[in-house]
Amino acid sequence: MTTINYTNAAVYNHNAQAFETNHYIVVDTGSGKIIATGAGFVDTDVQIDETIDMQGKYVMPGIMNAHTHMTSVPTYWVNGGEDDEHDDSREFNTMYAIKNMEDAINNGITYIRNVGAAYDIDMEIKKMQESGMIKGPKVMTSGRAFTMTGGHGSGSGIEVDGVEAMIHGVRTAMKKGVDNIKLMVTGGVLKNGETPDDIQFNEDETAAAVTEAHHKGKTVAAHVQGAQGVKEAARAGVDTVEHAFNIDDETIEIFKEHGTVVVPTMNAMYAIYQYGEKTVPEWARNKVIVNIKKHFASITKAAAAGIPIAMGTDAGTPYNGFESESAYEMQLYVDKANMTPAQAIDTATINCARAMHIEEEYGEISVGKYADFIAMTENPCEDIAVIQGKKDVYQNGVNVHRGIPQEKISTVTA
């Protein structure tokens, strides 16, 4: 165990919606948690083993991404799939998950919720990360997503039809040890022959999954895009609605009644819109063109109404990977959904932690929380794009990626 005092940092405070200068963070590397924080000099009886001067850097909690697919290949669709086409073997999916995990942590993403993984690979990846076998963010698992027979994501998901099959499927997934249940309630963009407005699970099936998951203290994330699907999922009590292309006034009231959190994944649409012409199939890109304006308007409406927004990117979709895309998603919230930079930071920190029900240990820099944070030389509250630049990444209080030249960090050992 080593006790490290990170001094002279500008630390983000979500209550103040600002970075507060001249703060310290004391970390116990044995537990990986923060044991003291405050302004000025350390006022604690704890023995400090090492002091590191952060030289005024801007320190915020590590980025949390509530919607990822770690086994997916972001460039799979380029040139019609020719560049990265593979046989979807367990081995290939596992190796790509390991690569995506390393890319994520090196870009400041310290916690992900994986919402659908072929072969339940995210469950084994989580164990590997926790044991130190691989580098990467901490993982909330979902295993294979649930879909109706032939529905969205059926290629790698679990096909169920009817309430009884849903109950059995969810109970089986929880027996395997998943942390979250992922439901494909509507159709989507990246499957031909369906639309985002297609209802694929009815409300009874969705509610049955929610009941079983909540009995065991598990969360439920619902892939929903069209208006009716979003309402259905929220009424059924899911914890988060993913994507949500079409939100009206009635939907806002349902969200407020049920405490629903929205995970926008705006870059999943925007990346295809920007870069997908002649590479992503026209049937997919056409669905983006039809829906992208109302999607952005819907997220703007939800944020303005005070609906909690938790950052998620749908990492693994075309041109939308595990590198700077999470930080870019936050920029989209500012540029396209009228959020302030501080509100965008909250989507990827405290809001994500609350959405995943882990706010007791994650989402802010305070005593008792895990010391997962990133440090930058510029203030993201002045320019949210700063988070896409070079940064140092800390996990459990220890530097795991040096983005800022090391000579700028001064260290004093007791």
pLDDT, one tens digit per residue, over 83-110 is 555 567 899 899 999 999 999 999 999 9
Q: Distance between CA 264 and CA 67 in Å, rounded? A: 9
| Residue type present at position 67 | H
The answer to whether residues 178 and 248 belong to one domain is: yes
Of 64, 130, 137, nearest to 97 (Cα)?
137
Residue-wise pLDDT tens digits, 336-382? 999 999 999 999 999 999 999 999 999 999 999 999 999 999 999 99
333 neighbors 266 (Cβ within 8 angstroms): yes
The answer to whether residues 79 and 198 belong to one domain is: yes
Domain range for 299 is 63-355
The answer to whether residues 37 and 70 belong to one domain is: no
The answer to whether residues 243 and 372 belong to one domain is: no
The answer to whether residues 226 and 349 belong to one domain is: yes
Domain count within the chain: 2
The answer to whether residues 10 and 83 belong to one domain is: no
Query: Which one of 355, 374, 400 terminates a domain?
Result: 355
The answer to whether residues 321 and 262 belong to one domain is: yes
Give the CATH number for residue 73.
3.20.20.140
Of 155, 219, 211, nearest to 182 (Cα)?
219
Strands 410-413 and 50-53: antiparallel
Task: Write out the H or E segment, with its range, that includes residue 67.
Answer: strand 63-68
The answer to whether residues 196 and 126 belong to one domain is: yes
The answer to whether residues 376 and 255 belong to one domain is: no
Q: How many residues does the chain have?
A: 414
Of 33, 105, 37, 64, nearest to 361 (Cα)?
33
**How much of the chain, in percent, has pLDDT values that exceed 70?**
95
Query: Which one of 355, 378, 403 terminates a domain?
Result: 355
**Model pLDDT, residue 88:** 78
Q: How far, in whole angstroms, is CA 184 from its chain's centroid?
A: 17
The answer to whether residues 118 and 203 belong to one domain is: yes
The answer to whether residues 221 and 293 belong to one domain is: yes
